[in-house]
Amino acid sequence: MSVLTADRISSVINKYPECKHSFDAVPESAAYVVAYSGGMDSTLLLWLARWFLAEKKNRQLRAIHVNHGINERADDWQNHCHDQALALGVDLVSYRRQVQIAGKGLESAAREVRYQVFQEEMKAGEVLLQGHHLNDLAETVLFRCVKGAAVGGLAGIPEQRRVKLPAGRAGDVGDAGDVGDVGDVGDVGDAGAYLIYRPLLGVARSVLHELACELKLQWIEDDSNQSLNFDRNYLRHKVLPNILQKWPGALAGVAASAQHCRDSEQLALEVARQDLKDCHLSPVHPVVTLSGWGECPLSIERVLSLSRVRQRNLLRYWFRAAGHTFPGNRQFARIWSEMLQADKDARPVIVWRGRNGPGEIRVYQGGLYIGQQITVGNRWQDALLSVGSGQVVELPAGCLQIYRQEDGPSPGRGGGMSLALSAGRISGQALSVRFRRCGEKMKLTNRPAKPVKKLLQENRIPYWLRDSVPCVYCGDSLAGIFGVGVAEQFIGEDIVLSWS
pLDDT tens, 148-175?
888 989 999 999 999 988 866 554 443 3
pLDDT value of residue 72: 86
Q: Are 123 and 148 in contact (CB under 8 A)?
A: no
Taking the domains of the chain in order of start, what are their residue ranges?
6-244, 280-372, 383-499
The pLDDT of residue 213 is above 90: yes
pLDDT value of residue 178: 32
Q: Of 259-268, 332-341, 376-385, which gets the smallest average pLDDT?
A: 376-385
The order of strands in the sheet holding 495-499 is 392-394, 399-404, 495-499, 417-421
Kindly list the distances between the CA atom of residue 261 and the CA atoms of 33, 200, 271, 275, in Å, as whole numbers in the listed order: 29, 20, 15, 21
Calculate the average pLDDT of the chain. 85
∠ Cα 33 36 41 (to 5°) = 115
Q: Is residue 365 classed exposed, middle or buried when 0-12, 13-18 and 19+ CB atoms within 10 A define those classes? A: exposed
pLDDT in tens, 433-467: 888 877 789 889 989 999 989 999 999 999 988 88
Class level of CATH domain 6-244: alpha beta
Strands 160-164 and 91-96: unpaired
pLDDT in tens, 464-494: 888 888 888 888 889 889 989 999 988 888 8
Contacts of 76 (CB under 8 A, 6+ apart): none
Q: How confident is the model at residue 212 (pLDDT cuts 50, 70, 90)?
A: very high
pLDDT value of residue 32: 97
pLDDT value of residue 358: 78
Q: Are 94 and 82 in contact (CB under 8 A)?
A: yes
pLDDT in tens, 361-370: 999 999 999 9
pLDDT value of residue 175: 34
pLDDT in tens, 178-187: 333 333 333 3
